[in-house]
Amino acid sequence: MISLKENKILALAIPATIENILQTAVGFIDALMISKIGLVAVTAVGIANTILNVYLALFIALGVGASALIAQKIGAKQTDEAQRVTNQAVILTLAVSLLLGVVSIFFGESLLHVMGASEAVLQESLQFFTVVGGGAVFMGLMTIFGSILRATGDTKSPMKISVVVNIGNIVIDYILIFGLGPIPALGVLGTAIGTVLSRLLGCWLLYRKVQQSKSPVDRATLFASGSYRPLVNLSIPATLERLVMRLGQVLYFGLIVSISAKTFAAHSIAGNIESFTYMPAYGLATAATTLVGNAIGARDSQLAKSYGYSAAKYGVIFMSLLGVILFFGAPFFASMFTSDQEALRQIVVALRIDAFAQPGLAISLITTGALQGMGDTKSPLYSTAFGMWGIRVVGVMVLSKYLGLGIAGIWLSIAIDLYLRSLFLVYKFNHNLSEQTMTIKEPSE
């Protein structure tokens, strides 16, 4: 029998999961279409996306800070304060995204060279990066508007909008990549244009929903003075956490490229396939952030604990089942992307190792969401810093390059990181709850 608390978790998590699946499906289908052009195109887009993921990390971090504060303010019945946070989040997002857009247009080639892009892939990678990175404002606003809606408890609207946006994106991408009638085949450039156009549509639709939410943008006071410190204090550790992760990926992706272009292509394809499995954890993490944040705002630490543990329990169950599918379905999934036998072998190895890492991935993602909901964005930063730089980067150098395990060494490093990270994050969640309980009890003693 599902309890009322578990019903609340699932009511928020299921739409968020569906939305994430839809968004990932677009990336999956795009990658599938790009793979039909060739492995050079896969590598070109993969290298560009490595840098663009750093951009996305900044926007997600702002969304984390905004979500935590808005959820807590709503839990404390302070709707005016929630709206103030919304305004501040939008202003910061606009400032950051415009700066990143300028960087992408004027310094894109230099960034791609730093990433190790060879002359064979540079031109296609630069086309994709300049268009998508130049339109970073749409990436940023879509991310922050979605975060605002989820923090208010509305995960259905972002899901419904994702249906419209992602179907449109697939259609536009197909036409622009392969051509149709008088429209020429643009290849990698076509998927970049389709991505930007779909995000523009998503921004408009999400903004309309935000204006109907519990925490709308107040255009009359959008630029009003006020302290950004609470939002910045939460966002900075979240930003550093994302940057540590993404910059670590830049380094260890560069190490993978140095092994061979085929290994990097296989790793990118395996990552695209695996991305479907962690969607339930992302959905449950969204629910944990919102509900734990509401409980902390209402000063109910026991309720916060119940939400956090219930979300993690469901995550382990769902992702363990998906791990089984990933293990046995690996050859079929890999064959959808390439017929190259060596690439197929490497993809299957990666996916079968990753199948055993799914419970650890579930706990780490969901507990991170719960910690962020209670306002702790530092603990995920510490765990990511150690996991990425102390385990993943070192693991690639030792297991993959020195011991010659290749792609197996890469994904073994990832699995070790996830399980160690989970242990640390669960400890911090319990520790924070103990401190929260003491804080609540002190005034009455």
Of 266, 351, 278, residue with least CA distance to 46: 266
- Token pair in block for residue 209: 């929903």
Structure token pair of residue 350 = 């990666």
What whole-number distance in Å separates Cα of residue 135 and Cα of residue 193? 10
Distance (Å) of CA 179 to CA 35, 58, 121, 165, 171 = 16, 34, 21, 20, 11
Give phi and psi for 115, each to the nearest 5: -70, -10
Interatomic CA distance for residues 265 and 345, integer angstroms: 12
pLDDT surpassing 60 at residue 445: no
Q: pTM for this one? A: 0.78
Tens-place pLDDT, residues 105-125: 999 888 888 877 777 788 888
Q: How far apart are CA 345 and CA 342, in angstroms?
A: 5
> What per-residue confidence (pLDDT) applies to 225?
60
Residue 434 has pLDDT above 60, yes or no: yes
CA distances 90 to 111, 162, 230, 316, 351, Å, are 27, 20, 15, 34, 38
Mean model confidence pLDDT for the chain: 86
Phi, psi of 376, rounded to the nearest 5 degrees: -100, 100
Q: What average pLDDT does range 307-327 have in this prediction?
A: 92
Percentage of residues in the chain with pLDDT exceeding 90? 33
Q: Which two tokens stand for residue 176?
A: 């622009």
Q: What is the pLDDT of residue 39?
A: 76
* DSSP code of residue 180: B
pLDDT bracket for residue 245 (50, 70, 90)? confident
Only one residue has tokens 């902390």, namely: 296
Mean pLDDT in residue range 338-357:
86
**Residue 252 pLDDT grade (very low, low, confident, very high; cuts 50, 70, 90):** confident
Residues 6+ apart with CB under 8 A from 108: 126, 129, 130, 133
More confident residue, 284 or 8: 284
Residue 220: its pLDDT value, please? Answer: 77
Residue 442 pLDDT level (bands cut at 50, 70, 90): very low
Question: Residue 141 — very low, low, confident or very high, per pLDDT cuts 50/70/90?
Answer: very high
pLDDT at 437 over 70: no
Token pair in block for residue 37? 């052009």
Q: Is the Cβ–Cβ distance between 101 and 131 less than 8 Å?
A: no
Q: How confident is the model at residue 270 (pLDDT cuts 50, 70, 90)?
A: confident
Cβ atoms within 10 A of the Cβ of 251, count? 17
Classify burial at 432, counting beta carbons within 10 Å of its beta carbon; exposed 0-12, middle 13-18, buried 19 or more: buried
The lowest-confidence range among 56-70, 162-176, 216-230 is: 216-230
